[in-house]
Amino acid sequence: MPKYDYDIGIIGAGAAGLTVASGTSQLGAKTLLIEKEKDLGGDCLHYGCVPSKTLIRTARVRSLMKRAGEFGLPEAGLEPVDFKKVTTRIQDVISVIQKHDSVERFCSLGVKVEFGEAGFIDSHSISLNGSTVSARQWVIATGSSPSAPNIQGLEDTPYITNKEIFYLDSLPPSMIVLGGGPIGVELSQAMARLGTEVTLIQRSGQILSRDDRDMAEMALAALRADGVKVYLDTDILRTEDKGTHKEVFFIQAGREHSVKAHTLLVALGRSPNSEGLRLENAAIETGPDGWIKVDRRMRTSQRHIYAAGDATGAFQFTHAAGYEGGIIVANAVFHLPRKADYTWMPHCTYIDPELAGIGLNEGQAKERGIDYSVWTEKFADNDRALAEGESRGRIKLLLDAKERPLGVQIFGPHSGELINEWVAAMAGRVKPGALAGAIHPYPTLGEINKRVAGGFLSKKLFSDRVRKVLRLIFNLRGS
C-alpha cells in the first residue's frame, strides 16, 4: 500500500495551482487539487486580470465614442452607463474562460479535484472537510487578498475592493480610490471613463512607484486627461462614513484636506492567503508580513512543500504564478534542480495607453551603480500611432556599457503587446543590432522597437570617426 494518498497535493486552484496540477497529472503523478471557492480559476479569473481587462475594454470603447469627432465622425451621443450591462459582459467573458479552468477539464487530465478549505495537520497531511488527506509533496498556491490597512475609521466605513467592484449593480456616481498602484490606477481610469467622478489618493510622490518617474508621469497625465483627480504625497488621517457618502481626510503639503464620494475603493496592497492554512503545524516559515518563504526552486523551509504565485509575495502577476508553477513541476516530478530566474520578468499596467516594462529601469540601474545609456523614441514619430490617433508616449531602452540591453519600458498604445518582442529578444539574448536589422512590417507600432534599437547603431554609424574614414576612402578612390 502506498505510504501517502497522493504523490502531490496542491492547495489553491488559481494560476499557480492549475499550472502545477495540469503538469504533474499529465506526467503521471497522482495529483490532488483543493479549492475553497466554488469554482476553479482563482483571483485572476474572478476578481483580477479577466474582469479588469474586460471592464477596461468597455471603458475604452466609451472613451473612443467620446473622441468620435477626432476621427472625422459625427459626435456620438453618450447615454449614461447601465453598469449592470457592463458587469453582465464581464460575467460572460469569465464564463467562457471558466470552461478552460473547469473541474471536468482537470478531471479529464487525471486530477482529483476537491472543494473545501485545507489546513496542515503535519508536514505531509492536511485536514479537508473533516477528513485527513496525505501527500508525498505539497504545493501551497493560495494566492493573496486585498490588504485591510490600518487607517483610523476604515473598519467602520463601508468600502469595496477588487472583490466587489466587478459585481456592482450600478455605476457609483463618485468614487475615492486609495492607492496608486496598478490596480488603483487601472480601475480609476476605467471608472472615470464610464462616468464615475474619481479621486485617487496616493501616498508617494508618483503613481506606479515601481516604474521610472518620467514614465509614471505620462501615465499620471493620461489619468488626469480622463478626469481623474489625483492627490500625491499624502498621508491619510482617517475615513468616515457619513451615510450618503464616505469621507477621507488626509494631509498634503502640510495642509489637511478631505474628499467625499459615494463609494470608497481600497487598493492599498495585498496580503497572503495563509489564514486557516495552519502553516505552523507543518513548520513552514513565513516572512514578517506572512508571505511564504521559498528558495529559487520554490521550496519552502520544508523541502517537500513548495509554494508559488502570490502566496510568496514576490511577483504578483499571473504569468509569474504560471512560471513558478512550471519550476515546481520540474523539481517535484523530474527532480531537476530548476531555479526561478526573474531577470526578464515583464510587467504591464493596463492603463490607456499601457505602461509595460522588462528588465531594469533607470532607477534600478542607478541603485545598482550600473553604467548605462538611455535611448528613446516617441510614438509621435511612429506613422501607425499617428494613423490610429494614439501618439501619446514613448519607448525607453537602457543599454549597459557593452551595449547589451538592461531593460525596456514602453508607455504607449498596446505596449503590453509591444513588450513581447523584447521578451523574446531578452530571453534569446538577441542583440539590439539584430532587432534593428530585422524587417518589421510597415506601418506598425512595433517599428518603434526597431527604431529605438537602431538609434544607438546610427549614432555609431554616422559618427565623425566613420565619416572621416569614409572621406579618406572616397579621396583615395578619386572622384
Write the burial class of residue 342 (CB in 10 Å: 0-12 exposed, 13-18 middle, 19+ buried). Answer: exposed
Q: What is the rounded CA–CA span in Å between residue 196 and residue 171?
A: 7
Comparison of 273 and 382: residue with beta carbon closer to ligand FAD: 273
Q: Contact between 223 and ligand FAD (CB under 6 A)? A: no
* Closest residue by Cα to residue 55 from 219, 222, 168: 168
Q: Contact between 16 and ligand FAD (CB under 6 A)? A: yes
Q: What is the rounded CA–CA span in Å between residue 322 and residue 405?
A: 25
Q: Contact between 277 and ligand FAD (CB under 6 A)? A: yes
Q: What is the rounded CA–CA span in Å between residue 351 and residue 184?
A: 10
Q: Determine the interface stretch with ligand FAD among 129-137, 149-157, 167-175, 304-312 (rule: CB under 6 A).
A: 304-312
Beta partners for residue 152, in sequence order: 238
Comparison of 17 and 455: residue with beta carbon closer to ligand FAD: 17
Smallest distance from ligand FAD to CB 79, Å: 27
Smallest distance from ligand FAD to CB 313, Å: 10
Comparison of 278 and 431: residue with beta carbon closer to ligand FAD: 278
Residue 363 vs residues 197, 206, 215, 403, 462: alpha-carbon distances, Å: 33, 13, 11, 18, 30
Smallest distance from ligand FAD to CB 419, Å: 13
Beta partners for residue 395, in sequence order: 377, 410
C-alpha cell of 101?
479552468
Counting residues that bind ligand FAD (by CB under 6 A) gives 38
Q: Contact between 360 and ligand FAD (CB under 6 A)? A: no
What is the identity of the amino acid at 56?
I
Query: Is residue 415 within 8 Å of 354, Cβ to Cβ?
Result: yes
Q: Contact between 382 and ligand FAD (CB under 6 A)? A: no
Comparison of 183 and 194: residue with beta carbon closer to ligand FAD: 183
Report the residue from 9, 48, 181, 407 that binds ligand FAD according to the rule CB under 6 A.
48
Q: Contact between 10 and ligand FAD (CB under 6 A)? A: no
The separation between CA 214 and the C-alpha centre of its own chain, rounded to angstroms, equals 20
Q: Contact between 421 and ligand FAD (CB under 6 A)? A: no
**CA angle, corner 293, sides to 287 and 50, nearest 5?**
100
Report the residue from 181, 309, 432, 446 that binds ligand FAD according to the rule CB under 6 A.
309
Q: Is the preceding omega at residue 74 within 30 degrees of 0, hence cis?
A: no
Q: What is the rounded CA–CA span in Å between residue 320 and residue 333?
A: 20
Q: What residues numbered 165-204 form the site for ligand FAD, per CB under 6 A?
A: 183
Comparison of 231 and 323: residue with beta carbon closer to ligand FAD: 323
Smallest distance from ligand FAD to CB 294, Å: 12
Per CB under 6 A, residues contacting ligand FAD are: 11-17, 34-37, 42-44, 47-49, 52-53, 117-118, 141-143, 162, 183, 273, 276-277, 309-311, 316-319, 321, 350
